[in-house]
A and B are shown apart, each in its own frame.
Chain A
Amino acid sequence: MKKTHIVGILIIAVAIGAIVSTIQDSSTYASFAQAKDNPEIEFHVIGELNKEKEMDYNPEINPNMFSFYAFDKEGEEYKVVFNGTKPQDFERSEQLVMLGSVQEDVFVCSKILMKCPSKYNDGQEEVIVTANAVEANS
């Protein structure tokens, strides 16, 4: 067997290893219901903040705990406890991607990815005409 063949086989083996590990390490997008059925297992839940209900953040008591209520994509509401500070401008978020697991009837979440309106340069456009106050929103 040629050396190049050995090297080639090794390379392919490592590449397959990388693919398998990525699939193993990857988490899944789920709803709260699925997360509830599999407690302690980490899921990514996509949803949005329930802006009607209260959000609790009391840094004096624990600066690393923030709790709120969120709807998942199926519209189910669940209490979420985030292990961190309340993200800046959380009220304005349009979409949340929450990474965590269900523990004792709350979704304990270690990471939140927050989408705000018009991140960077697109999304909602707004033209504000001064003086005669003609406002237009799209």
Chain B
Amino acid sequence: MDYIGEDLIPGMLGNFFLALSFSAALLATVAYYLSARGSVDEGWRKIGRTAFRIHGLSVIGIFAVLFYMLLNHLFEYHYVWQHSNTEMPMRYIFSCFWEGQEGSFMLWTFWNMVLGNILIKTAKDWEGPTMTVVSSVQVFLSSMLLGLIIMDYKLGSNPFILLREHPDMVNMPFTKIADYLSRIDGRGLNPILQNYWMIIHPPTLFLGFSSVMIPFAYAIAGFWKKRFNDWQKPTLPWAFFSVMILGTGVLMGGAWAYEALSFGGFWAWDPVENASLVPWLTLVAAAHVILISRNTGKSVKTAFLLTTVSFALILYSTFLTRSGILGDTSVHAFTDLGMSGQLLVYLIFYCVLILAIFITRWKHVSGDGKEDSINSREFWMFIGALVLLISAFQIIFSTSIPVINTVFGSNLAPPADPIIHYNSWQVPFAIIVGFLIGIGQYLKYKGNDISKFWKKIRLSLLIATVISATVAILTSNTNYHYILLFFSSTFAVVANINYFIRIVKGKIYKSGSSIAHIGFGFIMMGALVSTSMSKVISQNSSGVDVKVLGADFSNNENIMLFKNDTLQMGDYYVSYSNRKQEGVNIYFDIDYYKKSESGEYIKAFTLQPLVQLNKTMGNVAEPDTRHFLTKDIYTHITYADLSPQEKGAEGTGNEYMKPKIKMLALGDTMFSSNAIIILHQLNTSVEKEKYKLEENDIIVGAELHILKINGDVISANPLYIIRKMTVESVPDSIPDLGLKFLFTKIEPESGKIEIHLYERQGNKKDFVVMKAIIFPFINILWMGCIFLIIGSMLAIRQRIKTS
């Protein structure tokens, strides 16, 4: 059949570039390997370089083709159909590009290619061995996009496959229509991803993932070429670069969760968050041990292991989040695209490579010889790195519960309260790390004079003690874990500020590490203060105590607010004033008022949390947050009636809506929108004369107790009558509450009766259920992030200059 309007050329071009990028990467790996095997072979090196350049050009080609397809809405291609549509604003074209797994692998390949080209320019005599590693990584990544079927096994997932040839679509009715293309639109980008975070977060995070490859390549190269003490120097700027970019990516994910998703905070210990945090922790440890080994010539093996483990953890995290194995524990993980086997091969290959090189070179690394002095900087830095490693281990072990279940066939479920579980381990680790950050700068390599050290450090200790004691007393906090962590992070900040002023004397080019460490101290402090002192102000103060259900609820963090009603929340008086729909988003106006001294209510600000009617993944709520210098007020709609609000019909509101029908036994309850109804007893002693009944007729009354919101109880008595062979119901209504009851059936076997509950239209009032949280001093956290980034940049600059 000839299909009308299909443009097949871009697809062919795309497939050509895919094949070229894969084979060029393979050639580059082999050529670079041969060039580096013995003494440097210039001929092979040139071939390797050319092959890698061709690989680079074809990766750019793949990018260009996919962009062309997305820009021109070529829905004959499955990826374009799946991730975009004609209605979507064009600025989200990047988001469409990396929404899918194939696109995100392309992004990763792209960054690796860019970094590889920088390495070719800068690596000099390291080019051969490091580029062998980089090219081999590109072979694996390019294979993820091939989509070749080799003996029933599908290698990779091809982004250029035609819609009508996609395995899910074969034999669908539309494939029989020649002009199908003129009748379809794409499925579109998931609306929840149509925001600026989706444009900036994936490229940053993937650049972070890519950047870990370079220290890894140097570590492998160093051990391969037995240049055990040479690889650290060129690796350091890359290691700091990686710490900075990956850290930014992880924190950006937290910021996204805080601003636009309904996590209720910036860190929830979700498996997907953990998976990106863990490699960062080991990388920070690796960067510090590389620094030790660069300055003292010791700890070479540990530096190698930490660097390579960070890379392996990046692969492991990718496997966790993309294989679908986290399905039952995280709502954010990707589902399997059939590539988990390939990812596993990729992971195992590099783990074996790391172990093989480490074992064969083990004996060649000169022993550490003399023990580190306990007074030396390297000793405490090493301890700090180990604490980070252990902290990473604890997180990844708990996150890997589904993997443990798969491997050992066990039936463990994740901890019931992940926040408590992780914090009970991570808070002590953070306390130690904070202390070490504080003292580290004041210690010299290879031993110190202790009395001088104390002299330099005591002012910072004193200031930190005074600050934390004051804060602890003012907030009357008695949780010693939190007090200690506050003290240790304050100490980290103060000691590094002191170092910056008195020892670096404000010289910017030397101050990278102090500024980065100040930033890290602030991050710990901000995270601690904003989460431990966060306060849910939407506590339910009114409402009926639902003791009838026997359930004792501790959670009352959500509050219901009728339109135009005002409730007090914390220092504010909060009112829900309006809702309006724009496209798929329904915005709710939540007004915050303050009461002035004269008793007037003054509107302080309005927040507009929204609920998105999302066809692809269900309705999602997006919070809105008011930022102040010392606190944030976070507001989130947890429930709202989203059915279209009828207009004009409100006229009388006296018509009854469709009844709610329920079978009740004695003591059972049912709910109306404004009361709880309990079946108190069945009454057979109703006067028969009143209803003109005969001796054999049966009449039963259902005595219903109606518990109003204010606690008052009134009763209603609908009747059920069997007159000869016919059945009648006599309704009873409560006009005040707009309720009417009908007793329609008796089930003698179960002793249950059927009640129809009618409610007046007017009972249905517009309302929202919301949650409001105050996060105090969360700006300390964001400020810390900025310091950390600036400090790392300065450290990179300093290391590039000295190398």
> Chain B residues near A106 (CB, 8 Å)?
549-551
Q: Judge if B403 is at the interface, Cβ distance under 8 Å.
A: no
CB–CB B555/A99 < 8 A:
no
Interface positions of A from 33 to 62, Cβ below 8 Å from B: 42-44, 46, 54, 56-62
CB–CB A7/B383 < 8 A:
yes
Mark contacts of B323-359 with chain A using CB atoms, 8 A cut-off: 1 yes-contact digit, 0 otherwise.
Answer: 0000111010011010000000000000000000000
| Given contacts A11-B386, A84-B558, A134 and B393 within 8 Å (CB-CB) | no
| Given contacts A21-B425, A46-B328, A129-B177, A63 and B184 within 8 Å (CB-CB) | no
- Shortest distance from the beta carbon of B58 to any chain A beta carbon, whole Å: 25
CB–CB B558/A63 < 8 A:
yes
| Given contacts A59-B560, A136-B172, A64 and B618 within 8 Å (CB-CB) | no
Partner of A3, one of B374, B412, B551: B374
Partner of B540, one of A54, A63, A114, A125: A63
CB–CB B172/A138 < 8 A:
yes
Bin chain A's interface residue count. Answer: 35 or more
Mark contacts of A106-138 with chain B using CB atoms, 8 A cut-off: 1 yes-contact digit, 0 otherwise.
Answer: 101011011110111111011111111011101
A115 to B332, CA, bound (A): 10
CB–CB A26/B394 < 8 A:
no
- Shortest distance from the beta carbon of A100 to any chain B beta carbon, whole Å: 9
Partner of B769, one of A11, A63, A122, A128: A63
CB–CB A136/B173 < 8 A:
yes
A66 to B75, CA, bound (A): 43
Q: Judge if A89 is at the interface, Cβ distance under 8 Å.
A: yes
> Chain A residues near B398 (CB, 8 Å)?
18, 22, 25
A85 to B163, CA, bound (A): 40
Q: Judge if B1 is at the interface, Cβ distance under 8 Å.
A: no
| Given contacts A57-B639, A106-B551, A110-B555, A131 and B412 within 8 Å (CB-CB) | no
Interface core residue of B389, B551, B559, B620 (most chain A CB under 10 Å): B551
Q: Judge if B544 is at the interface, Cβ distance under 8 Å.
A: yes
CB–CB A85/B401 < 8 A:
no
Interface core residue of A92, A115, A120 (most chain B CB under 10 Å): A120
Q: Which of B115-123, B670-678, B698-706 contacts A (4 or more CB under 8 A)?
A: B670-678
CB–CB B560/A27 < 8 A:
no
CB–CB B412/A113 < 8 A:
no
CB–CB A120/B617 < 8 A:
yes
Q: Judge if B414 is at the interface, Cβ distance under 8 Å.
A: yes
A54 to B180, CA, bound (A): 42
CB–CB A3/B371 < 8 A:
yes
CB–CB A54/B549 < 8 A:
no
Partner of B553, one of A27, A42, A64: A64
Q: Judge if A9 is at the interface, Cβ distance under 8 Å.
A: no
> Chain A residues near B620 (CB, 8 Å)?
88
| Given contacts A18-B394, A61-B543, A64-B540, A120 and B184 within 8 Å (CB-CB) | no
Q: Which residue of A lies closest to B614 (CB)?
A: A89
Q: Which residue of B lies closest to A59 (CB)?
A: B560
Mark contacts of B273-290 with chain A using CB atoms, 8 A cut-off: 1 yes-contact digit, 0 otherwise.
Answer: 000000000000000000
Interface positions of B from 644 to 664, Cβ below 8 Å from A: 660, 662
Mark contacts of B171-202 with chain A using CB atoms, 8 A cut-off: 1 yes-contact digit, 0 otherwise.
Answer: 01110010010011101001000000000000
- Shortest distance from the beta carbon of A115 to any chain B beta carbon, whole Å: 8
Task: Name A's interface SS.
Answer: mixed
Mark contacts of B357-376 with chain A using CB atoms, 8 A cut-off: 1 yes-contact digit, 0 otherwise.
Answer: 00000000000000110100
> Chain A residues near B416 (CB, 8 Å)?
25, 27, 42, 99, 110-111
- Shortest distance from the beta carbon of B741 to any chain A beta carbon, whole Å: 17
CB–CB A27/B415 < 8 A:
yes
CB–CB A54/B662 < 8 A:
yes
Q: Judge if B390 is at the interface, Cβ distance under 8 Å.
A: yes
Partner of A108, one of B335, B394, B551, B676: B551
Partner of B767, one of A59, A89, A92, A130: A59
Q: Which residue of A lies closest to B556 (CB)?
A: A64
Interface positions of B from 714 to 757, Cβ below 8 Å from A: none
| Given contacts A11-B386, A85-B769, A129 and B174 within 8 Å (CB-CB) | yes
29 contacts between A and B (CB under 8 A): A15-B394, A18-B425, A22-B397, A22-B398, A22-B401, A22-B421, A26-B414, A27-B414, A29-B413, A44-B328, A58-B671, A62-B543, A63-B769, A64-B556, A83-B551, A83-B553, A83-B555, A84-B555, A84-B638, A88-B619, A106-B550, A113-B331, A116-B617, A118-B617, A119-B617, A120-B335, A121-B190, A127-B163, A131-B183
Given A3-B379, A62-B553; 15 other pairs, CB 8 A cutoff? A18-B394, A18-B425, A22-B421, A23-B412, A25-B398, A63-B540, A64-B553, A64-B555, A65-B549, A85-B638, A88-B621, A113-B329, A121-B190, A127-B163, A129-B183
* Interface residues, chain A, with chain B CB atoms under 8 Å away: 2-4, 7, 11, 14-15, 18-19, 21-23, 25-29, 42-44, 46, 54, 56-65, 81, 83-86, 88-89, 92-93, 97, 99, 103-104, 106, 108, 110-111, 113-116, 118-123, 125-132, 134-136, 138
